[in-house]
Every structure is written in C-alpha cells, then in structure tokens.
Amino acid sequence: MFITLVVSLAIILGIILVTILLITLVIILVIILVVIMDITLVIILVITLVISLVITRAIILIIKLVIILVIILFLLLVIILVIILVITLVITMVITLVITVVFTMLIILFIILFITLVISLAIMLVIIMFIKLVVILSSN
C-alpha cells in the first residue's frame, strides 16, 4: 500500500514538473515570438512609411490581443490540468486510506475472533475435564 502511494505521488509530481517545464517553455517561446514580431514590425514601419499610424497601431493591437488570448487560453488549460491532478491525488489518497483502514479492521477482527475461539475451546475443555472428574469421583 505504501509503495502504491509513493508511486502515485511520484507520477503526480512528475506530471506537475512536466507541466511547469511546459509553462516555462511556452513563456520563453512567447517572449521570442514577441521580440521577432517587434523586429518585424519595426522593419515594416521603416519600409512602409506611407501606411498611416492608425492602421499600424490597429495591427499591433490585434497581434498583441491574439498573443494575450493564446497565453490566457494556455494558462486556463494549465489550471484545469492542475485541478484535475489535485482531484486525482485526493481521490487516490482517500481510496488508499479507506482500503488500508478496512484491511486493518478485518485483520483485527480475525485476531479477536481467533482469540475468542481459543478461549472458548479452553473453557469447554476445562468444563469437560471437570465433568469427567465429577463422574469419576461420584462413581467411587
């Protein structure tokens, strides 16, 4: 039971660590993407000065909104995964605890029943010996 609990905790902690690594990778990729996009936008602004400032700002705003939307959706996905992992961990721990308690109670019950059986047999043996003794003594 303890090994199962340790393995379950190790698997869950491994999934959490992989999730954290994926989050940092996505954050790094988003930073690189923002830097590349900013460089691209500077080149576009230098080459095309004819484009008005309002249209350029609208394009930048749309790109930033898309990036923010992607980040928010990814963070929601990560939060949902963490919630699922926590719920799974709690359910696993509760099931393990219940199984452990039930088996412990069954073992204690069997020990008590065995001790009671041995004591009952001993008492019956003493009674039978006493009856035999009374019969032997009364026959003389």
Question: Cα separation of 104 and 111, whole Å?
Answer: 11
> Average pLDDT of the chain?
83
Q: Is the pLDDT score of 76 beyond 90? A: yes
What's the mean pLDDT in 47-66? Answer: 75
Q: What is the pTM of this model?
A: 0.39
Mean pLDDT of 41-48: 69
Name which of 53-62, 112-121, 129-138 the model is least confident about: 53-62
**104 has a pLDDT exceeding 60:** yes
Q: Where would I find the H helices in the chain?
A: 2-47, 53-139
Please state whether 37 falls in left (phi above 0), alpha (psi between -120 and 50) or beta: alpha
**Mean pLDDT in residue range 9-13:** 75
Residues 6+ positions from 37 with CB-CB distance below 8 Å: 63, 67
Q: How confident is the model at residue 124 (pLDDT cuts 50, 70, 90)?
A: very high
The residue to which tokens 């003493």 are assigned: 126
- What's the pLDDT score for residue 75? 93
Under DSSP, is residue 109 helix (H, G, I), strand (E, B) or coil?
A: helix
